[in-house]
Structure 1
Amino acid sequence: MERPLAWRPVTVIAVLLFGVLLALSPWYGYHRDELYFRVLSEHPAWGYVDQPPLTPMLARTGIALFGDTLTGIRAFPALAVAILVVLMALIARELEGGRAAQVMAALGTATGAYSLIAGHSLLTLSFDLPLWAAAILFLLKALLREQPRWWLAAGAVIGLATFNKHLIALLVIGLAVGLLTAGPRRILASPWLWAGALVAVVIALPNLIYQVTHDWPQLKMAAALSANKGAEMRVLFVPMQLTLFGPVVSVLAVWGFVRLWRDRRVRAPAVAYPVAAALTLISGGRFDYTAGLILLLFAAGCVGAEKAWRPWLAGLVLSGLGSAVIALPLIPVAELASSPVPAINEVARESVGWPRFVAAVNGVLGALPPDERARAVIVTGSYGEHGALAQAGVPRVYSGHNQLWEYGPPPETATTVILVNFGPRGLAQFGSCEEKARIDNGAGVDNEEQGLPVYLCRGPKQPWSTMWPMWRHFS
């Protein structure tokens, strides 16, 4: 018998979360990824070398509907995480959880550090989390209700998720391994399962066509990420699994894994987590690739803990208070550097100091004689730097970082170049280079831009068309 949905408390949690996220959205500044997505949104395409098109297109839509502001670009992430809260309550209900389990699932999701980060800033994970949750909800309906038509809905969401990130493949592979090894294997003979798989492939087809026609850029991107950060991500993987959504969520997730494993009907989704974790570790992927499955295990744990819900609910509230300080812009910028937040939360760290960065680069550009200034270009090493300058309206900005390389090279008449975030190899491409400024974010936060020199270079040693391939890099 299906449990009723605790719609009132769950709705209150979701609406309050949405309101808090919107209210805090103007604090600090843009994250570098938001600045990048803003640039990509001005170049609509079926895909980009480092990602599918959904997040940039939602950035474009948010700006069109709500204005080219921090709140405008962050409205959809806040809504997406509010929807995630409701989906997690529905997952708990699907796992036979009553009112208390649903409220715990909603509250734990809403107050998890990772959820708050996803809802505060426009990131790919902002939409990946609810897409995974929707796919998991539908596959649970297919497994538990023995209503195989739900495989069509799961396939549709999985196909749609490929337009945001291709990581949904981890869920598919994990579920497939779970069905093969832990059953129920009879599901594999269901025509509805394969029809759902076909729906997913058809919807995802534009992504596949883009990859084929562009020489599989996502594979190159994945290899670059593994080479750059793979070792670090492997070291961080286990501790971050325990802290992504807070320690109470982690404990309940362990309980949830045991509970799912004991129920043959849903043993396959339980197996999906260790499979996804193993694939992430082997590939050197980010520790957050398993976040969607952690939330599934947590929801199952909430059902198991329902009879003694009061201490667990209190623990989630206390954990949520700590998560809010870490994940949301609650600490004044002037005091941020003296807190542990920048070391823990990369999004906060990289959301500080962009106006001062733009002012420093503009100062170098403005000091040039008028005729030279009119021909000068700016080349940045990072998409965040490019995006900050573009957002401020600075003209003739180029970068070789990820997709931005496709929008170059500078014109051959560009013999005066302002370089930011380049080492000796970049400087060596010019007849002369002189440091003209050094970036100071004004808050003392140790982020990627803090302390970077700004160089004024003249006399490229080769035509831009010849040396532009050398400037391309993935990270």
Structure 2
Amino acid sequence: MTDLGQQPKDLREQREPASLPDLPLFLRPGGLVALVLALAVLKVWAAANSHLVEDEAYYRLWGLHPALGYYDHPPMIAWWIWAGQQLLGDTVLAVRAAVILSSVLGSLVLWRTGLLLFGARAAGWAVLFFNASLLIGIGGILATPDAPSVLFWGLAFWALVELQTSENANWWLAVGLFAGLGLVSKYSCLFLGTGILLWLVWVPTARKWFGTWQLWAGGLLAVYIFAPVLYWNQLHDWVSFYKQFGRAGSGALTSKYIFEFIGAVFGLMNPLVALPACLGAALLSRGTWGKQAGSALVIVTVLPFLAYLIFHSLHARVQANWPAPLFPAFALMAGMFVARASTASRFWRIWATGAVVSGLVIAVVVQIHAVAPLTGVLARKDPTFQLRGWPEVGRQIEQIAEAEDAHFVLTSSYGLTGHLDFLLKGHTAVSQAPVSQVNERIRYIMAPQTSSESFGGTGLYVTTNRRDRSALLLDRFADVRLIAEFPRQVRGVELEQMRVYRMSDPTGSVLDPVETRQPTG
């Protein structure tokens, strides 16, 4: 079997330009660039013509109030959204623009990484598998912290591969830069640092880097970039650290969620890609056990985060998007395996082609469906249901606000707060105060706090039948009454029931106080 931890002789030949004509057109750089750009154009169209999902609507508020940190996550996605808003205005496309660009850059970096590790054929398959994964092909327009964390994790790994290939210690500075930016994107990038340390300790030939100043300078650079986030957390009682790390290992040991986690990873990766990824991981694990630098670099940098996710799934549910930073490495594993197996087996060529075609077709259909729903019969089982019906909801709320002479809107969920703030931003009747969430005020510590005087007169409380917390209003207003119910729907199919309450005559403080200190005991 080929030594996967070292570069075989023919790998150097595969990187020569003269070998590229031997590749199928769809694996050549030109073909890959054309495909990635075509997918980006489709994503731009879908991003501009579909509505925000719940989390995106919430993160849009972050972009309007850029800060060094937030209750839920570090600030990178807010900065990306802010940049889009400066260029494109307060639009849906502005929220998603940087995310779409990041998928193009991520594909380019993945190709270079695969080329250095396994050759041009494997690099081409890795890019195809990455874009054919459901997480990237379908979710690649959504503005969430996963997008920058995937990009910067991938960039840091690319810099490590450049280091391993060139033996140039200056690449440690790039590793530190991208790792620091990854930490500013999502705290899960801490596991990449753990993986890098394991690689340095595990592989004998890598231990020499401990003696170079660039390694330590790169580590200090990562800490320096992350320091503002630490400073913000220190000012706010370490609130986002409590939020993210407080749930680690919580709950009793159970097997309830482990199979759900495995199924979600296989499903979002694309099941036809997941199998060669597992086989590629098995091959690379042999080289890792033999302490071969190239194999170990792929496997060991993945292991800490994967181990944490498995540990968490034995106690509580792992959200499907959490493993996202590992997907470029999974695509590399699959690309490496298929590149080598397909040269000797027609079966794997057919399998890999089917994986790419099926993944891309599903991605294209879902993107079109996101803009122009093909059917509504799936209702809430439709993966795009969060996008549906919001413009109509906004118009209904505007009409009710005008009829009731309402001057402010309250909610009790962050997603609905984000949605209504976007939908009502040009409506003068409710301009007395921004759309405000009554509870969980900790989520809005980055924004100027609304004064109690803003809630005089008549207001509306908007909620859904599933999340109705109108009881919160009874001791805040003298008069609270249900005045309207209507469905949020797609093609005549109800997704959920919206409820609107009318409030007047506040009796005290309307909004909960903003408390950042976490409860103890």
Shorter-chain TM range is 0.7 to 0.9
Distance in 2, Cα, partners of 1:52 & 1:468:
23
RMSD: 3.2
Pair 377,169 (structure 1): closer, same or farther in 2 beyond 3 Å: same
Cα distance, 1:134 vs. partner? 0.8
Query: What displacement does 1:146 show?
Result: 3.1
Change (3 A) 1:294 1:335: closer
- What residue identity is the alignment partner of 1:457? M
Within the candidate set 271, 288, 308, 1:247 is matched to 271
Instruction: Determine the structure 2 residue equivalent to 1:404.
Output: 444
2:334 aligned to which of 301, 314, 325: 301
Q: CA shift at 1:153, angstroms?
A: 0.8
Of 114, 123, 138 in structure 2, the residue corresponding to residue 92 of structure 1 is: 114
Distance 1:286 1:12, change over 3 A: same
Specify every segment of 5 or more residues in structure 2 that has no aligned partner in the other structure, as ranges.
1-11, 18-27, 344-348
How many positions carry a matched residue from both structures? Answer: 461
Distance of aligned partners of 1:83 and 1:306 in 2 relative to their CA distance in 1, 3 Å threshold: same
How far apart are 1:472 and its partner, in Å?
12
Matches within 5 A, 1:388-427: 388-391=419-422, 392-393=424-425, 394=427, 395=431, 396=433, 397-399=435-437, 400-401=439-440, 403-404=443-444, 407=447, 408-412=449-453, 414-415=455-456, 416-421=458-463, 422-423=468-469, 425-427=471-473
- Please report the TM-score for the alignment, with normalisation by the length of structure 1: 0.86
User: Where does 1:459-474 land on structure 2 (aligned, <5 Å)?
Assistant: 459-464=505-510, 467-469=512-514
| Partners of 1:132 and 1:292 within 8 A in 2 | yes
Q: Is the 8 A contact 1:79 1:119 kept in 2?
A: no
Q: Based on CA coordinates, which of the two structures has the bigger radius of gyration? A: 2
**In structure 1, how many angstroms separate the alpha carbons of the residues matched to 2:148 and 2:453?**
41
Partner-residue secondary structure (3-state), 1:50: coil
What is the match of residue 386 of structure 1?
Answer: 417
Q: For 1:236 and 1:381, how far apart are their aligned partners in 2?
A: 30
Structure 2: distance between partners of 1:224 and 1:381: 23
Deviations 1:314-369 (A, max 9, x none): 122233145416752426755443248x5363xx2211121122223323322225
Q: Is the 8 A contact 1:112 1:320 kept in 2?
A: yes
1:135 Cα deviation (Å)?
1.0
Does the 8 Å CA contact 1:252/1:297 hold for their aligned counterparts?
no
Question: Would you say 1:358 and 2:394 are equivalent positions?
Answer: yes
Aligned position for 2:357: 318
Q: What's the secondary structure of 2:504's corresponding residue?
A: strand
Partner of 1:286: 319
Distance 1:57 1:103, change over 3 A: same
5 Å-filtered alignment, 1:52-451, equals 52-98=74-120, 100-180=121-201, 186-187=207-208, 189-191=210-212, 192-222=214-244, 236-263=260-287, 264-266=292-294, 267-283=296-312, 284=316, 285-307=318-340, 308=342, 310-321=349-360, 323-324=362-363, 327-330=366-369, 335-339=374-378, 342-343=380-381, 345=383, 348-369=384-405, 373=406, 376-391=407-422, 392-393=424-425, 394=427, 395=431, 396=433, 397-399=435-437, 400-401=439-440, 403-404=443-444, 407=447, 408-412=449-453, 414-415=455-456, 416-421=458-463, 422-423=468-469, 425-429=471-475, 430-443=477-490, 450-451=496-497
- Contact 2:72-2:443 at 8 Å conserved across structures: yes
Q: 1:268 to 1:114 in 2, by over 3 A?
A: same
CA distance, structure 2, for counterparts of residue 304 and residue 28 of structure 1 = 37
Q: TM-score, normalization: structure 2?
A: 0.79
> Per-residue deviation at 1:201?
0.8
- Cα 1:335–1:427, aligned 2, differ >3 Å: closer, same or farther? farther
Distance in 2 between residues matched to 1:472 and 1:329, nearest whole Å: 45
Residue aligning to 2:6: none
SS at the partner of 1:437?
Answer: strand
